[in-house]
Amino acid sequence: MPTPHAHTAYLLLGSNLGDRVVTLHRALLALAEKAGRIVAVSGVYETAAWGKEDQDSFLNQALQLSTDLAPEQLLDACQQVETALGRERLEPWGPRTLDVDILLYDDQIINTERLHVPHPRLPERRFALVPLADIAPALLHPQLRRPVAELLADCPDQLPVEPWLGDL
């Protein structure tokens, strides 16, 4: 009998190089294999690049994951999936085949050299809040003690985040 997964994590996938839809699909399959059971998946959104805006738009998707992995083990699994799908770390906020961010991990607050959870810029990023609100609008941010839907309503970021209308 399989053991129950002990932790709930929320991840954000992003891609703006190559076949973005295929990359997101492959990332979901790889994360299910390496990191745990996918409980919920948001819609796919086309989003303007944030931080370094002179690049192609991203496709973003959030997911809820049930995992037995500790936070840094989950980070390792996410980075392995990024690398397997062609991620090269050439410049901060630069173009990439795949980015996997850990947005939340249970209600933990984690600040290590490698990992900061909740994601420190989550309240400032519509491209993360919109898909997260698809699957967990009432989820409380563990530091701010505010639900995701409220963070989205108050988000200062006004960059476009539109439902992806292409083929899935």
What pLDDT, on a 0 to 100 scale, did the predictor assign at position 1?
Answer: 43
Q: Which one of 20, 26, 99, 134 is the catalytic residue?
A: 99
Q: Are 154 and 122 in contact (CB under 8 A)?
A: no
pLDDT at 165: 83
Q: Is 121 a catalytic residue?
A: no
Selection from 2, 161, 158, 11 nearest residue 99 by Cα = 11
The per-residue pLDDT for range 104-117, each reduced to its tens digit, is 999 999 999 999 99
The verdict on whether 96 is a catalytic residue reads yes
Q: Give the active site residue among 20, 37, 76, 87.
A: 87
Q: What does the pLDDT profile of the chain (168 residues) look like in tens digits?
A: 455 568 999 999 999 999 999 999 999 999 999 999 999 999 999 998 876 666 789 999 999 999 999 999 999 999 999 999 987 766 665 678 899 999 999 999 999 999 999 999 999 999 999 999 999 999 999 999 999 999 999 999 988 999 998 765
Could you tell me which of 43, 39, 91 has the C-alpha nearest to residue 65? 39
Q: Is 100 in contact with 13 (CB distance < 8 Å)?
A: yes
The pTM assigned to this predicted structure is 0.92
Catalytic residue among 20, 96, 125, 126: 96
User: What's the farthest any 2 CA atoms get from each other in the chain?
Assistant: 50
Q: Specify whether 54 is catalytic.
A: no
Choose the catalytic residue: 101, 125, 126, 134. 101
For each of the domains in the chain, give its residue range(s) and CATH number, in order of start.
7-163 (3.30.70.560)
